[in-house]
Amino acid sequence: MKEQGGIRVWRGWRKETVAWDKFIRHLATIFIPATWQVMGRLGLRLYVPSVLPESKPEGLPDEVALLFYPSQSAYLAARSRSAAGRAYGLLHEAVFAFTPERRSTSTTAVSWSPGQPAPLQDQPFHRQATGNGCRFCAAQRVVFLALSHQQAPSAMPGALFAVLGQCCDEAVVYGENAFTLAWLAVRNAGEFDRGMLAAELASRLPASTLVAVHVAERMQFQVDYFAEFDGLALQSDQTLFFLPADRIPEGISARASALE
């Protein structure tokens, strides 16, 4: 399987000493906007951060993200070869834990397609768009899913790809023992029905619980870290979707929502 290099999945656990409200405030006013404003100038092309519910099952991360860079080398250069990138790296330590029990980290995705062996755990897998499939860089919305389980079956990521459909839309799935995460590029969020999705997941993956289903629209967001800024409208159980302003079609509003 060929490494995609620039596609990364972040899993972040907050420090136990940081209260939930403070954690959300830090993400909304500093960490998430800084990721897009700083790393966006250093090569970050797409950014989909998600805050999970505060009452989620034990073992799941508090904040996760899908990030697209041009390549692995571009990502490494952005993080280590500029003062801005190194300063951004230090922001993580303000609220995220890096202990063995709560080790916040990101991992590079590798490519996967139906018909290949089931993806392994602890490794993000990327299904490229084919034919008329929707790509993340051209999507109007991104669907984010989070599932919890006692112990993931070896076929979990592959089964989740099947639940997302054998369609040709672009998707990324990451799974480990306690949880599985998935992102899907979509043109029309109306195609997703939470009840039907939960029923299909329960049928295919009976040992799993659906923790979050978010549909995030592209956001209009000023990439200027010197501008006055009070913070993003962010709350628990929510996903945001950032793309460069020149790729945002007219009429797309600056909002994100969770399916009820």
Task: Provide the pLDDT for residue 24.
Answer: 96
Spatial distance between the Cα atoms of 252 and 224, rounded to a whole number of angstroms: 20
For 3-258, give the CATH class.
alpha beta
Nearest CA to 110 out of 219, 1, 257 is that of: 1
Q: Provide DSSP, 61-77.
A: -SEEEEEE-S-HHHHHH
Give the pLDDT confidence of 82-129 residue by residue, as tens digits.
888 888 888 898 999 998 888 898 888 888 776 676 666 678 888 888
Token reading at 161: 């790809």
Count the Cβ atoms, other than its own, within 10 Å of residue 63.
21
Spatial distance between the Cα atoms of 122 and 180, rounded to a whole number of angstroms: 9
Handedness of CA 195, 156, 133, 9 (dihedral sign): positive
Residues of the chain falling short of pLDDT 50: 1-3, 247-260
Count the Cβ atoms, other than its own, within 10 Å of residue 129.
18
Domain residue spans of the chain: 3-258
Give the pLDDT confidence of 215-229 residue by residue, as tens digits.
898 887 765 666 777
Spatial distance between the Cα atoms of 78 and 41, rounded to a whole number of angstroms: 9
DSSP reduced 3-state for 168: coil
Token reading at 59: 């073992």
Arithmetic mean of pLDDT over the chain: 80
Task: Provide the pLDDT for residue 245.
Answer: 62
Backbone angles phi, psi at 176, to 5 degrees: -145, -175
What is the rounded (10 degree) CA torsion for 116, 120, 124, 125?
Answer: 10
Task: Provide the pLDDT for residue 225.
Answer: 66
Q: Provide DSSP, 115-165.
A: TSPPPPTTS-EEEPP-TTPPPGGG-SEEEEEEEEESS--TTHHHHHHHHT-
Spatial distance between the Cα atoms of 44 and 37, rounded to a whole number of angstroms: 9
